[in-house]
Amino acid sequence: MTNTLHRFGEPETFRDDFVIFGMAAQGINNKDAKQKLIKFYHMAMKHKPVNIGNHHGSLYRTSENLSPLVHWHRVDEGDPEAVLNSIDDKSAQMAVVFDTAEKLEAFLIELKEADLGLSVNISSLTDMARLCCKNAGIVRHSVGYSMGFHGDLSLLPDKHVLELSTMCGHGMVSNNFAKKMIDLVKEGRRTPKEAAHCLSRFCVCGVFNPAKAERILEEVRKGE
């Protein structure tokens, strides 16, 4: 089970969204977990992820030293060193987000050869995950499906809002916050990149996909 299972959108909207976790279970495969996750981190960074993080924070993060006004306009390329330095003996997992299947597949090939002894979970379209695993020489252990959204769907926000907010499985990116960013982009007060990075900083574990968010916000800006 993963908190990334319920990302909203039509199949074609996941063409640039691939999440992979490396996890250690207490008492099962957590021996030397810190060193394993450090290796996992370095291997992932070689393939240029669009986000990476653990329970201490992600590539994009808030800062105690910035005022709200500075924060809104800040566009940065992330802080990979902060993620690396946050890995400690209590670390149990690391999440990595790629924007192409090719990057995920290349990482899987290297990960299989390294045989770190971590549990690995991929979150993407099932067919794409299966193909990447096959090309990497990995046999899938199990699969989990999202059963979608049920009930009175007319009460839900529009699709662009849901596509953005559901990228944070812990609910740290609210529907209202996503709508606010959409409105700012429509009004020309924020670029899609500025808004995407702002949204990313509130998803602590690092599974929010800023590249996908920027694409969605660009589509909104163009009225698509």
Per-residue pLDDT of the chain (224 residues; tens, 9 = 90+): 568 988 999 999 999 999 999 998 878 877 888 999 999 999 999 999 999 999 888 998 877 676 666 656 666 778 899 999 999 877 788 999 999 999 999 999 999 999 999 999 999 999 999 999 999 999 888 898 888 888 998 899 999 999 999 999 888 999 999 999 999 999 999 999 999 999 999 998 899 999 999 999 999 999 87
Q: What angle do CA 2, 136, 45 make, to 5 degrees?
A: 65
pTM metric for this prediction: 0.91
Residues forming a β-bridge with 123: 19
Residue 200 lies in a domain: yes
Tokens of 149: 């959204």
Give the domain range for residue 165: 11-140+156-221
160 close to 181: Cβ distance less than 8 angstroms? no
189 within 8 A of 175, measured Cβ to Cβ: no
Q: Is residue 112 part of a domain?
A: yes
Q: Write down the pLDDT at residue 88.
A: 84
Confidence (pLDDT) at 92: 84
Flag whether 146 is in a domain.
no
Residue 147 resides in a domain: no
pLDDT value, residue 1: 53
Task: Establish if 125 belongs to a structural domain.
Answer: yes
CA distances from 109 to 43, 57, 161 (A): 11, 26, 35
Domain count for the chain, please give it. 1
For position 211, what pLDDT does the model report? Answer: 97
In this structure, is residue 173 part of a structural domain? Answer: yes
Is 119 among the domain residues?
Answer: yes
Q: Is residue 58 part of a domain?
A: yes
Determine whether 38 is exposed, middle or buried from the number of CB atoms within 10 Å of its CB (0-12, 13-18, 19+): middle
Q: State the pLDDT at residue 70.
A: 65
Query: Cβ(12)–Cβ(124) under 8 Å?
Result: no
**Distance separating alpha carbons of residues 106 and 139, to the nearest angstrom:** 16
**Stretch (H or E) spanning 122:** strand 119-123
